[in-house]
């Protein structure tokens, strides 16, 4: 695609759905209300989608209730076939899907395509897992009793996904829900809803029955409140910020609904004295600034052993300065815009706070001078960072890399575990004992050793502490979408 491609022309070429998907049909809001989708490069409106009314939400709920009764009776093998076909279509049309994704949230096109292929992987993985929802037979105390344990679909699901991975994160919810036999109402991010609507389009194309998949767009606070107030919804899956997660947990508690929460992180990167510094610096820079740092498991605190801190920082800064900021449709861009002006302002505030408290800007630190529009911010490295700076305790969710030092293994682990977050952590070392010890002592749900890209369909993804609970991906990803039923059968005296 040409570097001159714009979000507007990409949307025109890809023609994504711009209506809600309710009960097997594409619909405008019943009251005609709409919300705008803004290109983070030009800051211009590139599409509008419906702003669901209460009546629309109620219709989605009614359809999901009917869809669940239908879908739960479809055989696991047939559900598997539908998911496999969804995966095939998504992979085959990855270029189209990637154009939409880059247009609405700004990430470089190559990264967008990678996200689409990872989306296909989710459906492909759960096509297999749909046939592996196992129960068991338990030996009873007496010979005339049979004890059976069965896993059944939990019921209709409300799924909420954020804008930073607007295709992949919805897929991590929709795919296991469908595999388990649940219906699902997807609420795509209001900032980037088109990629989620494309998933509904694919579900429609493969013939998943009406009501099994719904996608409603609009005000997320109002939609979530009405969905969670309904007795129809039995499971809530959310990826997003801690404050919003807490709000949804309270709403779910009123209805005694099952929940899974992935609430962000503040991932430490421990670089030990024996690490391969050249590799660590290059991998760290590429991984940290992927998606503009807008990744829940992004490396966001660099803790470097004091004996190698200067060398690591020099190489890391050089790798950071080599990154090119620009439109996602420019093939030479490594880093696209942030998702919104609000996000850029938050990043600027963290940098200003750190500098005001004595940190130094080793790279970046401001808006690039080359752009007259767009929510761009330079990849930024901060040195001389101390614990009292906000960037060390607040999730930056942007292109900021603070560097601090540690003198011993125990001190490094203590700093790494000093926040309320516990999603992911990373370790760079060439010593197997150090790799194991650090991995085991980090208070996180996931650890990457000598790598920063660890999310994959076949492995469980999730955190501890304020980063939430429940897992997406892997065999564990189905657990939250099933309930366990125990059946005890007394056979009596046997056949007459």
Residues with active-site annotation: 262, 296
CA 416 – CA 439 distance, rounded (Å): 11
8 A C-beta contact, residue 472 and residue 165: no
- Find the largest Cα–Cα distance for the chain: 90
CA 174, 179, 185, 189: dihedral to nearest 10 degrees?
0
User: What one-character DSSP code corresponds to residue 446?
Assistant: E
Please name every residue paired with 361 in a beta bridge, in sequence order, or none if there are none: 382
The string of DSSP codes covering 370-419 is T-SSS-----EEEES--TTSGGGTS---SSEEEEEEESSHHHHHHHHT-S
Please, are residues 71 and 185 in contact by the beta-carbon 8 Å criterion? no
How far apart are alpha carbons 397 and 33 in whole angstroms?
31
Q: Nearest to residue 300, comparing CAs of 390, 201, 213?
A: 390
Looking only at the bridges linking them, the beta strands covering 235-239 and 258-262 are parallel
Q: Facing residues of 187 across strands?
A: 160
d(CA 422, CA 143): 48
With vertex at residue 357, the alpha carbon angle to CA 351 and CA 363, rounded to the nearest 5 degrees, is 40
3-state DSSP assignment of residue 131: coil
- In contact, 440 and 460? CB cutoff 8 Å: no
State both tokens at 221: 């606070």
Rounded-to-integer distance, Cα 141 and Cα 271, Å: 55
The single residue listed with the structure tokens 């969670």 is: 228
What gap in Å lies between CA 241 and CA 266, rounded to an integer? 12
**For tokens 């749900």, what's the residue?**
445
Could you give the C-alpha distances from 419 to 364, 378, 401, 446, in angstroms and in order?
26, 26, 16, 16
Helix (H) or strand (E) holding 153: strand 145-153
Beta-strand pair 380-383/400-406: parallel
């Amino acid at each position: 695609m040409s570097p001159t491609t714009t979000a507007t022309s990409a949307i025109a070429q890809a023609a994504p759905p711009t209506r809600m998907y309710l009960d097997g049909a594409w619909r405008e809001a019943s009251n005609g209300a709409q919300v705008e989708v803004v290109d983070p490069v030009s800051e211009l409106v590139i599409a509008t989608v419906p702003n669901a009314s209460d009546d629309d939400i109620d219709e989605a709920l009614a359809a999901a209730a009917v869809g669940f009764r239908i879908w739960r009776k479809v055989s696991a093998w047939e559900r598997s076939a539908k998911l496999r076909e969804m995966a095939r279509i998504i992979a085959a049309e990855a270029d189209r899907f990637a154009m939409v994704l880059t247009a609405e949230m700004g990430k470089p096109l190559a990264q967008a395509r990678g996200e689409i292929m990872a989306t296909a992987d989710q459906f492909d993985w759960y096509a297999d897992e749909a046939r592996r929802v196992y129960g068991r037979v338990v030996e009873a105390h007496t010979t005339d009793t049979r004890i059976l344990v069965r896993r059944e679909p939990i019921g209709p699901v409300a799924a909420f996904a954020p804008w930073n991975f607007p295709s992949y994160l919805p897929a991590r919810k929709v795919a296991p829900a469908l595999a388990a036999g649940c219906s699902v109402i997807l609420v795509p991010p209001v900032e980037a809803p088109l990629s989620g609507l494309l998933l509904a389009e694919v579900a429609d194309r493969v013939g998943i029955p009406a009501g099994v998949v719904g996608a409603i767009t609009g005000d997320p606070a109002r939609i979530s409140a009405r969905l969670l107030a309904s007795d129809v919804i039995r499971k809530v899956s959310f990826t997003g910020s801690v404050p919003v997660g807490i709000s949804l947990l309270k709403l779910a508690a009123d209805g005694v609904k099952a929940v899974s929460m992935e609430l962000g992180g503040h991932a430490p990167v421990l670089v030990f004295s024996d690490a391969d510094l050249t590799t660590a610096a290059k991998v760290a820079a590429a991984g940290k600034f992927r998606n503009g740092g807008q990744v829940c498991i992004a490396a966001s605190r660099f803790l470097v052993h004091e004996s190698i801190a200067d060398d690591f920082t020099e190489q890391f800064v050089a790798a950071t300065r080599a990154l090119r900021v620009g439109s996602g449709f420019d093939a030479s861009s490594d880093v696209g815009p942030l998702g919104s002006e609000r996000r850029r302002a938050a990043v600027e505030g963290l940098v200003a706070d750190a500098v005001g408290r004595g940190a130094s800007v080793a790279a970046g630190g401001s808006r690039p001078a080359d752009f007259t529009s767009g929510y761009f911010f330079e990849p930024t490295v901060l040195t001389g960072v101390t614990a009292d700076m906000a960037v060390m305790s607040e999730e930056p969710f942007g292109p900021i890399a603070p560097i601090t030092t540690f003198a011993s293994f125990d001190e490094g682990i203590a700093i790494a575990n000093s926040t309320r977050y516990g999603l992911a952590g990373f370790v760079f070392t060439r010593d197997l004992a150090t790799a194991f010890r650090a991995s085991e002592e980090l208070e996180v749900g996931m650890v990457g050793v000598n790598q920063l890209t660890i999310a994959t369909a076949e492995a469980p993804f999730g955190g501890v502490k304020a980063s939430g609970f429940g897992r997406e991906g892997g065999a564990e990803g189905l657990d939250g979408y099933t309930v366990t039923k125990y059946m005890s059968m007394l056979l009596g005296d046997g056949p007459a």
